[in-house]
Structure 1
Amino acid sequence: MDKRIKALRRFALAITILNILGHTWLSFEQSIAQLLTALTTCYILEISFEVISAKQQKRDTVFKSGIKNSIDFLLPAHITGLAIGMLIYSNSNILPYVFAAAVAVSSKEIFKVTIKGKEKHFLNPSNTGIAVVLLLFPWVGISPPYQFTENVSGSLDWVIPGIILFTGTLLNTALTGKIPLILAWGGVFVIQAVVRSWWFGSENLATLFPLTGMSFMLFTFYMITDPGTTPSSKKGQFIFGGSVAALYGLYASLGIVFTFFFALVTVCIARGVCIALGNAYAALNEEKPKITANELEVTKEASV
């Protein structure tokens, strides 16, 4: 089985369990209606785009290939919908969830570049939807970090983060291969935190506190490591992860809030632009007429 499908299934299962526990045992602030709204919007748009694409390409939709393929096809939409329903907070308003989900799924169809001969989206869907909503609607915020551990105490304060750490490490080691990206992100994050603490004269390293939060862990293992929108090479992963952390430090120094999401979407955009420019440059060089050795000799003789 394709590692991508395995990763999607594990990720979908993990985020589904987390949401179920969040609304039944933990203290998720969002309503069930908001969660289902985000999820339904993602499903509808994903299916609609597939139908349109199938008609344009004159092929059958994936839904005609059986239930198993249909479920696998909807896994990205499932993950995106649950992530949006879990991470943004807008009091009792539902429309921000619709808008964020629509932006997330639509971004995959609009913003594409050619990578190794295949058209692929370069924006992290759920992160893009969340970032756009936060940017356009200042009254919308991020779910409070305490919602993940408010109703637990004692050893469970360590067990829950430990489970996230273990499952996230296992997933990204065995299936996504994004450990270099995680190491670069975490390493540069520590460096920028120490530099900011020294630069602003902080008496303690408060800039390192985000490392201890559930938000940081979820972002590290389940957001920034999206296989579809991050480099596959080790060098590319180091550059990508380090760039997000460095940009995080810059944005935080400028007083920009919701820094995780804005730093990631910025790096994703920069990566997409670089790939597009590289493709354009390569295409331009291929179009230039090639002069053979004989033609070169004739040209020299003519010039003499």
Structure 2
Amino acid sequence: MTQKPAKDPRITALRRFAISITVLNIAGYTVLGFEQAWAWPLFALATGYAVELVLETIGARAEHRPPRYRGGGARGLVEFLYPAHITALAVNMLLYVNDRLPVMLFAVAVAISGKWLFRVPVNGRLRHFMNPSNFGIAVVLLLFPWISIAPPYQFTEYLEGPADWIVPAVIVVFGTMLNAKLTGRMWLIAGWLGVFVLQSVVRGLVLDTAILPALATMTGVAFVLFTNYMITDPGTTPSRPLSQLAFGGGVALVYGVLTGASIVYGLFFATAIVCLVRGGFLWSLHAVRVAAREGKGAPPAAGTLDGTVPPAVAREMVRA
């Protein structure tokens, strides 16, 4: 009897991410109180799909390979578009650009383009290291100072009483299940939350910040979403427990520094900075290995990217 092929946990995680954010958007526009126009998620999705398909077509032609959206039929195309689906909905949901639709669409395009612009050799192939949704949001916040993050109250604007707690509770439960079983990013969450508490207390002692309100930030729906669905992006975060702790703690630490310096939107800028630092670290490892190989005059090893990254080193790089 022929055995069914094992399910790819990455595809399963992406599918559940995509379903979760779709359900949240539907609930947001019908029940919760999202501020953006109803048609904007559709425009965001159309832009995200188009940019993803065009860039993949160009990349496949440049790399002399078939596009990844071909060969698997309709299911393969849908699975290929999961990341673009998640990114487009997240960018539209988290940004507030008033009536400037082109700015939001530009943010979606930047978010997806970043996956092609910021890449590093890992495990024999180039992989992106900037969190796509976060990158697109951070870029437009810098380029257009008049826009802002969507008001946090939109996630519970039409709810009252105990219902205010149901939304974050549901996000925590499903987010924890997803990250514990599929993405394996619970150590990252632990590092993020632990250092976030620590930096809140330190800011209270050093900068005369009110400690309890700083800690109360952790109870908001926006913070819970960021913790479970933004910072844990498996494609741009490390896999090993200690590296996850360092990544999550690093984002919280940079956030504390930015907030202490009165820089707004610290969550997004801190994540972008730490992703950029990690990318630089991975590139430095790659450069060291290239220099070592050239110094020894060794021939390129089989199964490497341009004969420069041995598989064992690549595995260490992807875990770092």
1:294 corresponds to: none
Q: Which has the higher helix share?
A: 1
CA distance in 1, matches of 2:142, 2:61: 35
Is 1:247 the counterpart of 2:250? The answer is no
1:116 to partner: Cα distance: 2.4
1:204 to partner: Cα distance: 4.8
1:47 to partner: Cα distance: 0.5
1:198 corresponds to: 205
**What is the aligned residue count?**
291
1:217 to partner: Cα distance: 0.3
CA distance in 2, matches of 1:173, 1:20: 25
Corresponding letter in the other structure for 1:131: A
CA contact (8 A) 2:96 2:147 kept: yes
Is 1:278 the counterpart of 2:275? The answer is no
CA contact (8 A) 2:138 2:268 kept: yes
1:54 corresponds to: 60
1:30-45 maps to which residues of 2 (within 5 A)? 30-45=36-51
- 1:63 match: secondary structure: coil
1:150-229 maps to which residues of 2 (within 5 A)? 150-202=157-209, 204-229=211-236
CA contact (8 A) 2:155 2:221 kept: yes
- 1:153 match: secondary structure: coil
Query: How far does the alpha carbon of each residue in 1:112-131 deviate from its partner, in whole angstroms, 9 at most, with x for none?
Result: 00122221000000000000
CA distance in 2, matches of 1:284, 1:252: 40
Is 1:16 the counterpart of 2:22? The answer is yes
Q: 1:59 to 1:288 in 2, by over 3 A?
A: closer
Corresponding letter in the other structure for 2:246: I
Query: How far does the alpha carbon of each residue in 1:248-303 deviate from its partner, in whole angstroms, 9 at most, with x for none?
Result: 00000000000100000000000001110111011101111379xxxxxxxxxxxx
The alignment's TM-score, normalised by the length of structure 2, stands at 0.88
The alignment's TM-score, normalised by the length of structure 1, stands at 0.93
- 2:65 match: secondary structure: coil
Corresponding letter in the other structure for 2:174: T
Where structure 2 has 5 or more consecutive residues not aligned to the other structure, the ranges are: 1-6, 299-320
Where structure 1 has 5 or more consecutive residues not aligned to the other structure, the ranges are: 292-304
1:63 to partner: Cα distance: 3.0
Query: How far does the alpha carbon of each residue in 1:158-216 deviate from its partner, in whole angstroms, 9 at most, with x for none?
Result: 21111000000000000000000000000000000000011123465221121111111
- 1:227 match: secondary structure: coil
Give the percent of matched residue pairs that are identical in Structure 1 and Structure 2.
48
Deviates more, 1:137-146 or 1:150-159: 150-159
1:110 corresponds to: 117
Among candidates 126, 129, 136, match of residue 122 of structure 1 = 129
CA distance in 2, matches of 1:181, 1:232: 9
1:65-144 maps to which residues of 2 (within 5 A)? 65-144=72-151
CA distance in 2, matches of 1:155, 1:95: 38
Corresponding letter in the other structure for 1:4: R
- Larger-gyration structure (1/2): 1
- 2:120 match: secondary structure: strand
Q: 1:230 to 1:209 in 2, by over 3 A?
A: same
